[in-house]
Structure 1
Amino acid sequence: MPETRKQRMPYDFNQQIIQEFRANRGKVGGPFEGARLLLLTTTGARSGVRHTVPLGYLHDEGGRMLVIASAGGAPHHPAWYHNVRADPHVTVETGVFTIEAEAAVLEGEERERLFARAVEADSGWAGYQAKSGRVLPVVALTPLSGSLPDFPEGEVLKAIHDGFRRELALIRADAAVSGPRVGAQLRVNCLAVCGGLRHHHTAESGQLFPHLRDRHPELDAVLDRLHAEHAVLDHLLDDLQKLLSAGPADLLTEVDRLVAQIENHLSYEERHLVPLLNALPPRHEDHLNVTRIPATSDDHAAVTATIRALVTRTPALAADVRPALAHTGGVPGQWVSAAGGSATEDGVTLYVHGGGFEHSQPTLEPLMACRLSQATRRPAFRVDQRLAPAHPYPAALDDVVAVYRSLLEQGVPADRIIVCGESSGGTLVLSALLALRQAGDPLPGAAVAVSPLTDLTLSSQSLDTNDGRDVINRRVAEHVTAQYLAGARADQAPQSPLHGDLHGLPPLLLVAGTAEVLLDDTRRFAAAASAAGVDVTLDLYEGMPHAFHASVMAQDPPPIALTFLRRLTDWVAETRAGGTRSR
């Protein structure tokens, strides 16, 4: 239940609002229809687990958002308030943007002034304070960085417009009840919305419109009109702010007129631009080497059936399992070679298994190592890293790094080592790259991560948009993340690879299925690494679930699994680690 002027509601009801908010891009129905809401995600002061709550909020000057720890008038502060006191780094979702922010508990005159402004806008806050018997804390959320949702570009534009429409509707509703005497909070709301619209229009005129002119000369007349309307709207926004400052008797009529003109502009823009923008490549893929591998429902069924069968009947391992080196840094594991050759001459594939940081499948994982050895044409070593919760972060990461360093000590050239992992193993692969680079170790020649969890704050949109399509869900991700981190920060590298400096990493092959909840973890990391100058190849398998490639372990793998192996083989041959050519 949002902490607006309503009584507190059960946890499950909160979850319903959160799901509706995310599914409808910030819009909710029922008793909260039209309310100004955000989702606030904090880190548990005691548990270290990330918690999300829906809250009512107020705009503030300078781009801040204000939330009040009312707890529905309860005598004790809500849990989220204690969390931000312990760790002020929070994530805010507005329905359009996901924002990393810094929370600050306001004190003294500033707190008194802003709480009074909130009460002026809604007297219910005063009622809550009187009922609670405590001074309600006012918390300011200052944005540090933000990201857009992973929608087609046209849908992003419409989502931004819908956010402005909701704000304009709230301003109109507040103006209708205020009469000529306009409150301070309404003026601040107008200032925030007008500033946001101006920023949006500046970005369109300076970036989006030139981009479209280059590709769609037939749009010149439309873009000319929209650009001209931006100048007109700029004056309209000034007029709206002046109206709310003066508070004339015909305030509502004038507000209606100005809001109608703004909405007409938004609708005209959407009518002409949304179809074109939706046809553009997703922003994550604009400068990436992306391949979308088609798959059918039959492929999905074959993968699912094959993986289920592997659990009950393990195929025979047809590979050389003799030790290839004297030691592996004190970390247990297993050498599997289906390709023959020498580790020091041909290189090594270092395989880091998945399992949510807490599970291992010792009878199946050698089969995966065998397939990777075949595809990469070199011996593979399966790392038997320590597992949570008995051994939380950084134990598993330390094991992967130790094995890698042992290979270097034994004379394996760094550029002939490929580090490969899936799921949590993919996370460990990417974390190891960051840890090794930070320590000054030579990096491997290439790395492969299949279905990795890269953002341990669990902020990726696909955790919700793909919920129900995948074999795992957000609750699974929350569980494994909490077990693994055990209090370590979710927004820092190397444990959360997306939050690290990605410059200087080796060539990466990142693989995901488009039906999996961690799809955006893969895409966001690919985009960030590519922006940092890393050679990234992103393979997206249409309709495939989390870690679909596990079906390669079967005696007779399904066709889509063989496609994965073939593409891995081709990619290795094109990288430095393949020893054939350099990029």
Structure 2
Amino acid sequence: MPYDFNQQIIEEFRAGRGRVGGPFEGARLLLLTTTGARSGARHTVPLGYLPDEGGRMLVIASAGGAPHHPAWYHNLRADPRVTVETGVFTIEAEAAVLEGEERDRLFARAVEADSGWADYQAKSGRVLPVVALTPRSGSFPDLPEGEVLKAIHDAFRRELALVRAEVAASGPRLGAQLRVNCLTLCGGLHHHHTVESGGLFPHLRDRHPELDAVLDRLHAEHTVLAGLLDDLRQLVSADSADLLTRVDRLITEIENHLAYEERHLVPLMNALPPRHEDHSTVTRVPADPGDRAAVMAAMRSPAAGAPPLDADMTPRLPHTGGVPGQWVTGSAAEDGVTLYVHGGGFEHTQPALEPLMAYRLSQATGRPVFKTDQRLAPAHPYPAALDDVVAVYRSLLEQGVPADRVILSGESSGGTLVLSALLALKAAGDPLPGAAVAISPLTDLTLSSPSLDADDGQDVLSRPVVERITAQYLAGARADQAPQSPLHGDLRGLPPLLLVAGTAEVLLDDTRRFAAAAAAAGVEVTLDLYEGMPHAFHLSVLAQEPPAVAMTFLRRLSDWCPGRSR
């Protein structure tokens, strides 16, 4: 084909993300880029291809029946490293010229599907080479996430239409290539749905809890479609007059599924930060079957008493901003300070247990810990406790502790106070700490998170409890304003955050929503979600024999902790 015609097809292919008109409309087409054997320059050509088993793509060096092999064939013989564009993905692949029985078998399969290949071979007077392209790596197009999803869907729509037309033309007896086409399509759809259910859906669920019902429906539809795909595979393996009917049903079900998915997910996915700008890391930490029971037992009867004997209780600094508290230093502590803000619903303290938690934090963060005894509601509602945390932090800096060597850490209401303190310090122009840890925090005091209403009675918290402690803490202050309600603040410029929650707790969505908002604001966020764990499960580290999941929490905290010497 003349160069100008090739270039026109290439441009149309790229602009249409794999869709072209004219003589190639409805054909399986790819763009193959090779390196010139003599020039070293990169050359791209559009080629028809045939799906093959194992993800390979087959191209045939027909040159339209010309007597000489095409230039691209000579190029890949010299350098088999090629680039393949499918319209959606750009794939780095390795080309292999097939020989002997394998070449003859696959060429015969191609001729069975389209006799034009035999015509080209007869016209050319040569044996047409068959080349297998094996993917080695791939990349997504530089598009918003939702547009990438839609492009993938459109590629499946085109392939479904092609297979449907091929099945209709074939009748009940399928040729070998058509069987491969059908099985490749089934495998591709199954892989796509597996990736969505295992990767995309949890990613979106963590960032958009309001999508839970939509994602549940899509996941359920994946199960139904998996059954239809299995049925189709079985029919393809044996000639069946029912095949076209089954293909039509599959197309209908898939189109309904894709349309629903696009309607609900594409706009939100387009609003996500590009892959290179997403500053969040979300990890779902698995739990062993007995972990939840062990955690609940440990939280019901934690070890009461002083920290281990190697803890140093000597005050590290003479002043703490007029706020009472306690210094606890583990055996491996370095410089800096971890400021620990205890939980307790803004109203309780556990003086027998909190020093032991401080000791665990000192060991994990590698710093001496100051445990604050902030004022408590209802006698001292907002902003008393927040003022205390801010006062302690400022006193550390006034006494020479570098801001970047301070970590703020808190659980439950203490986690809320940590996030509130960051916003208050930022608003006042204070230097911010090097990092912050918030475990099971309440971040939206309007109590709008869906998980508050998903309580199955298994968590240690419930909506009525959260409503009571929130009203008592705010005492008339607005629930939709920062810093008291951290989710409603300007999160830009906050330090690196480690946010932790159990997937079975009622404050799960408060943590997930704050993580998503902070990441969207450019904050470096690590979100650890512990499967099946209740609110503030990490407190089970206080047990005489802590559950394995509690020790996992401490290890992950230690690994994450910035500036920690190891």
TM-score with structure 2 setting the length: 0.54
1:309 and 2:295 equivalent? no
State how many pairs are aligned: 328
User: Is this contact kept in 1: 2:307–2:359, CA < 8 A?
Assistant: no
1:218 and 2:207 equivalent? no
Structure 1: stretches of 5+ with no match in the other structure: 1-205, 225-264
User: Is this contact kept in 1: 2:306–2:352, CA < 8 A?
Assistant: no
User: Is this contact kept in 2: 1:551–1:558, CA < 8 A?
Assistant: yes
Which residue of 1 is the match for residue 320 of structure 2?
A: 328
Does the C-alpha gap of structure 1 residues 402 and 410 become closer, same or farther in structure 2, counting only changes over 3 Å? same
Cα displacement (A) at 1:465: 1.7
TM-score with structure 1 setting the length: 0.53
User: Is this contact kept in 2: 1:296–1:543, CA < 8 A?
Assistant: no
Cα displacement (A) at 1:553: 1.5
Cα displacement (A) at 1:317: 3.5
Alignment of 1:18-37 (within 5 A): none
Cα distance in 2 for residues equivalent to 1:218 and 1:526: 33
Which residue of 2 is the match for residue 428 of structure 1?
A: 417
Q: Aligned letter for 1:211?
A: V
Does the C-alpha gap of structure 1 residues 310 and 516 become closer, same or farther in structure 2, counting only changes over 3 Å? same
User: Is this contact kept in 1: 2:146–2:265, CA < 8 A?
Assistant: no
Q: Aligned letter for 2:365?
A: T
1:446 and 2:435 equivalent? yes
1:578 and 2:515 equivalent? no
Cα distance in 2 for residues equivalent to 1:452 and 1:371: 19
Cα distance in 1 for residues equivalent to 2:494 and 2:406: 14
1:480 and 2:466 equivalent? no
Cα distance in 2 for residues equivalent to 1:278 and 1:557: 43
Which residue of 2 is the match for residue 371 of structure 1?
A: 360
Cα distance in 2 for residues equivalent to 1:466 and 1:211: 35
**DSSP-derived class of the 1:372 partner:** helix
Does the C-alpha gap of structure 1 residues 392 and 475 become closer, same or farther in structure 2, counting only changes over 3 Å? same
Cα displacement (A) at 1:297: 3.4
How far does the alpha carbon of each residue in 1:394-437 deviate from its partner, in whole angstroms, 9 at most, with x for none? 00000000000010011100000000000000000000000001
Structure 2: stretches of 5+ with no match in the other structure: 1-142, 162-250
Does the C-alpha gap of structure 1 residues 270 and 304 become closer, same or farther in structure 2, counting only changes over 3 Å? same
1:563 and 2:552 equivalent? yes
User: Is this contact kept in 2: 1:338–1:370, CA < 8 A?
Assistant: yes
Cα displacement (A) at 1:221: 3.7
User: Is this contact kept in 2: 1:222–1:272, CA < 8 A?
Assistant: no
How far does the alpha carbon of each residue in 1:296-321 deviate from its partner, in whole angstroms, 9 at most, with x for none? 3300001111111217x446543111
User: Is this contact kept in 2: 1:213–1:219, CA < 8 A?
Assistant: no
Which residue of 2 is the match for residue 528 of structure 1?
A: 517
Cα distance in 2 for residues equivalent to 1:402 and 1:223: 65
Alignment of 1:168-183 (within 5 A): none
Cα displacement (A) at 1:555: 2.9
Cα distance in 1 for residues equivalent to 2:466 and 2:315: 35
Cα distance in 2 for residues equivalent to 1:528 and 1:480: 24
Cα distance in 1 for residues equivalent to 2:556 and 2:387: 30
Does the C-alpha gap of structure 1 residues 456 and 303 become closer, same or farther in structure 2, counting only changes over 3 Å? same
User: Is this contact kept in 2: 1:502–1:528, CA < 8 A?
Assistant: yes
Cα distance in 1 for residues equivalent to 2:254 and 2:559: 47
1:290 and 2:276 equivalent? no
Cα distance in 1 for residues equivalent to 2:483 and 2:516: 18
Larger gyration radius, structure 1 or structure 2? 2
Which residue of 1 is the match for residue 123 of structure 2?
A: none
Larger deviation: 522-531 or 271-280? 271-280
**DSSP-derived class of the 1:306 partner:** helix
Cα distance in 1 for residues equivalent to 2:537 and 2:369: 21
Cα displacement (A) at 1:270: 3.6
Cα displacement (A) at 1:222: 9.2
Larger deviation: 452-461 or 210-219? 210-219
Which residue of 2 is the match for residue 339 of structure 1?
A: 331
User: Is this contact kept in 1: 2:281–2:527, CA < 8 A?
Assistant: yes
Cα distance in 2 for residues equivalent to 1:386 and 1:558: 32
**DSSP-derived class of the 1:502 partner:** coil
Cα displacement (A) at 1:472: 0.6
Does the C-alpha gap of structure 1 residues 266 and 528 become closer, same or farther in structure 2, counting only changes over 3 Å? farther
User: Is this contact kept in 1: 2:295–2:537, CA < 8 A?
Assistant: yes
Which residue of 2 is the match for residue 140 of structure 1?
A: none
Which residue of 2 is the match for residue 517 of structure 1?
A: 506
Cα distance in 2 for residues equivalent to 1:535 and 1:543: 25
Does the C-alpha gap of structure 1 residues 332 and 532 become closer, same or farther in structure 2, counting only changes over 3 Å? same
Does the C-alpha gap of structure 1 residues 505 and 524 become closer, same or farther in structure 2, counting only changes over 3 Å? same
Q: Aligned letter for 2:496?
A: P
Which residue of 2 is the match for residue 80 of structure 1?
A: none
Cα displacement (A) at 1:490: 0.1
Alignment of 1:94-493 (within 5 A): 210-216=147-153, 218-221=155-158, 269-273=255-259, 287=278, 288-310=280-302, 313-314=304-305, 316-318=307-309, 319-339=311-331, 346-493=335-482
Tell me how large the CA RMSD over aligned residues is: 3.0
Cα distance in 1 for residues equivalent to 2:353 and 2:160: 58
Does the C-alpha gap of structure 1 residues 555 and 437 become closer, same or farther in structure 2, counting only changes over 3 Å? same
